[in-house]
Amino acid sequence: MRAADSCQDDEMITQSRLKELLRYEPETGKFFWLANKGRGKPTKAAGCIGGKGYRRIGIDDADYSTSRLVWLYVYGKFPDDECDHRDGNRDNNCLTNLREATHSQNLQNRRKAQARSKTGFLGVWKKRTKFAAGIRFCGKTIHLGSFATPEEAYASYLAKKREIHAFCTI
């Protein structure tokens, strides 16, 4: 299953059909309905923000992630896996902000711990009286050690993330 920016109905729309209905502005990352086509006004950006923060556009009774539509519009096909927003802004669909990515590569954009984190730091968890740090890379967890404070553990996590992040780009 793909991340939240995926759409099960990807193969329903073609590049030519998309271009009949919408125009895309690579600089702004926005789609606009063409005159007398689609459901919206040509001056208003198409789509709306869904529950997970991704802009979605309804076309021909199907719902599509805008980032995936950008890929189809520009390259003539949907991305093979996920469409990653480099800056982490799920509504920034500028072409320069998008890249094809695996799920693992897409997760490299995480900037903060999940809400259920007990330490409040990404890659850090409580381990008895100390704090442990770890990072996932290529499907495996790399343990970075135990530390006296969560800040020390997080510093270790960030250093490792900077080291391996270069290998995760496409």
Query: In this predicted model, what pLDDT tens digit does every residue of 21-73 receive, in sequence order?
Result: 999 999 999 999 986 555 666 777 899 998 888 899 999 889 999 999 999 99
Residue 162 has pLDDT above 80, yes or no: no
Residue 9 has pLDDT above 50, yes or no: no
Residues 85 and 155 in one domain: no
pTM to 2 decimal places: 0.64
Q: Of the residues 101, 135, 158, which one is the last residue of a structural domain?
A: 101
Give the residue with greater pLDDT, 103 vs 152. 152
As a whole number, mean pLDDT of residues 69-93 equals 91
Residues 89 and 25 in one domain: yes
Q: Of the residues 101, 123, 154, which one is the last residue of a structural domain?
A: 101
Look up the domain containing 59 and give its range. Answer: 10-101
CATH number, domain containing residue 132? 3.30.730.10
pLDDT in tens, 126-138: 888 898 888 877 7
Does residue 4 sit within a domain? no
Does residue 5 sit within a domain? no
pLDDT of residue 170: 36
Residue 117 has pLDDT above 70, yes or no: no
In the chain, the amino acid numbered 113 is: A
Residues 21 and 97 in one domain: yes
Residues 80 and 134 in one domain: no
Residues 56 and 118 in one domain: no
Residues 148 and 95 in one domain: no
Number of domains in the chain: 2
Does residue 3 sit within a domain? no
Residue 77 has pLDDT above 60, yes or no: yes
Residue 56 CB contacts under 8 Å (≥ 6 apart), including other chains:
47, 48, 49, 50, 63, 64, 65, 66
* Minimum mean pLDDT range among 50-59, 113-122, 151-160: 113-122
Q: From CA 50, how far away is CA 22, in angstroms rounded?
A: 19
* Minimum mean pLDDT range among 53-57, 93-97, 101-105: 101-105
Residue 8 CB contacts under 8 Å (≥ 6 apart), including other chains:
none
Average pLDDT, the chain: 80
Q: From CA 159, how far away is CA 165, in angstroms rounded?
A: 10
Residues 72 and 139 in one domain: no
